[in-house]
């Protein structure tokens, strides 16, 4: 009977989250009797394979979307993509990147440079509260290659004001630095959105990953927003790979500049570095 209920619940979740192409519905997992999560909590698996409130973004596997009680135990259905209502422990603006609040397990807070981003706020909060968030990048990094690490830095919506490459085109106010990185290879990826500032005039924007000192790593990509009359936006993904030593402390940044005389560009997104031994 419990399995029938789980299947029906999963179908309802699929309908509710139909707008999210990458939605993944997991089977129900038993809830731990300690640090027991509620609906909307970000969760991890404990050593017994049970769900607990998560206090470290690197351990997060998803959010509890539904709870079932079979009379003896409670079971949670976990989603790791789509939109869900979650608790945020402080004020945020719509579009802010969110990470797990280590001092308040199960809850989210605004991400800082170096934090692993697990969701994006879809509404503005002037104080702590519940709001819808878009889940991103879920799945515990520790469940993959032994010794793998992840670093992330959010880039808030920023006007692109320069017309050439170099350190003046780097957009993160603080480089994402991997102090004593402990890995032998890194994959660096920026995922974001470019638009033309909701005005006329258009934009042609080049985007690249840099070393924090004005030098490009890998190849740049170009985004064309050339309609001079209507608002335009486009997604952008730039990836680079670099060999490092475990004692190295490499730095990374996002570089963007306008070209072709069309200079109304702006950009936002997340810079992610995954390191493997």
Confidence of residue 137 (pLDDT cuts 50, 70, 90): low
Whether residues 90 and 158 share a domain: the answer is no
Whether residues 122 and 250 share a domain: the answer is no
Residue that finishes a domain, picked among 143, 162, 195: 143
Higher pLDDT, 145 or 34: 34
Residue that finishes a domain, picked among 143, 160, 184: 143
Confidence of residue 2 (pLDDT cuts 50, 70, 90): very low
Dihedral sign (CA 107, 110, 112, 118): positive
* Residues 6 or more apart whose Cβ sits within 8 Å of residue 161: none
HEC readout, the chain: CHHHHHHHHHHHHHHHCCCCCCCCECCCEEECCCCCCCCCCEEEECCCCCEEECCCHHHCCEEEEEEEECCCCEEEEEECCEEEEEEECCCECCCCEEEECCCCCCCEEECCCCCCCCEEECCCECCCEEEEEEECCCCCHHHCCCCCEEEEEEEEEEECCCCCCCHHHECCCCCEECCCCCCCEEEEEEEEEEECCCCCCCEEEEEEEECCCCCEEEEEEEEEECCCCCCCEEEEEEEEEEECCCCCCCEEEEEEEEEEEEECCEEEEEEEEEEEC
Structural domain for 207, as ranges:
144-276
pTM attached to this predicted model: 0.57
Name 252's bridge partners: 176
Number of domains in the chain: 2
Q: What is the CATH classification number for the domain harbouring 1? A: 2.40.300.10
Q: Tokens at residue 241, please?
A: 């790979």
* CA atoms in the 13 A half-sphere facing the CB of 258: 21
Q: Cα–Cα distance between 78 and 109 in angstroms, integer?
A: 20
Does 143 have pLDDT greater than 60? no
Tens digits of residue pLDDT in 218-257: 889 999 998 888 888 888 889 899 999 999 999 999 999 9
Confidence of residue 113 (pLDDT cuts 50, 70, 90): confident
Nearest to 22 by CA among 164, 182, 136: 136
Whether residues 48 and 180 share a domain: the answer is no
Confidence of residue 141 (pLDDT cuts 50, 70, 90): low
């Amino acid at each position: 009977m419990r399995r029938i209920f789980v299947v029906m619940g999963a179908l309802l979740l699929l309908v509710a989250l139909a707008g999210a192409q990458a939605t993944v519905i997991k089977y129900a997992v038993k809830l731990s009797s300690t640090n027991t999560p509620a609906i909307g909590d970000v969760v991890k698996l404990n050593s017994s394979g049970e769900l607990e409130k998560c206090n470290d973004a690197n351990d997060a596997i998803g959010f509890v979307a539904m709870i079932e009680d079979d009379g003896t135990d409670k079971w949670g259905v976990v989603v790791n993509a789509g939109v869900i209502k979650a608790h945020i422990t402080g004020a945020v603006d719509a579009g802010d990147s969110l990470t797990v609040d280590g001092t308040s397990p199960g809850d989210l807070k605004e991400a800082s440079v170096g934090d692993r981003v697990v969701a994006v706020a879809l509404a503005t909060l002037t104080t702590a509260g519940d709001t819808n968030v878009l889940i991103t990048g879920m799945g515990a990094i520790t469940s993959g290659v032994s010794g793998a690490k992840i670093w992330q830095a959010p880039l808030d919506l920023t006007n692109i004001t320069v017309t050439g490459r170099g350190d003046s085109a780097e957009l993160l106010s603080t480089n994402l630095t991997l102090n004593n990185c402990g890995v032998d290879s890194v994959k660096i990826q920026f995922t974001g959105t470019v638009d033309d500032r909701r005005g006329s005039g258009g934009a042609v924007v080049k985007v690249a990953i840099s070393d924090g000192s004005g030098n490009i790593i890998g190849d740049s990509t170009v985004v064309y927003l050339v309609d001079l009359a209507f608002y335009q936006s486009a997604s952008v993904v730039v990836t680079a790979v670099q060999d490092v030593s475990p004692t190295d402390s490499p730095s990374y940044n996002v570089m963007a500049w306008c070209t072709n005389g069309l200079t109304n560009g702006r950009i936002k997104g997340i810079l992610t570095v995954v390191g493997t031994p």
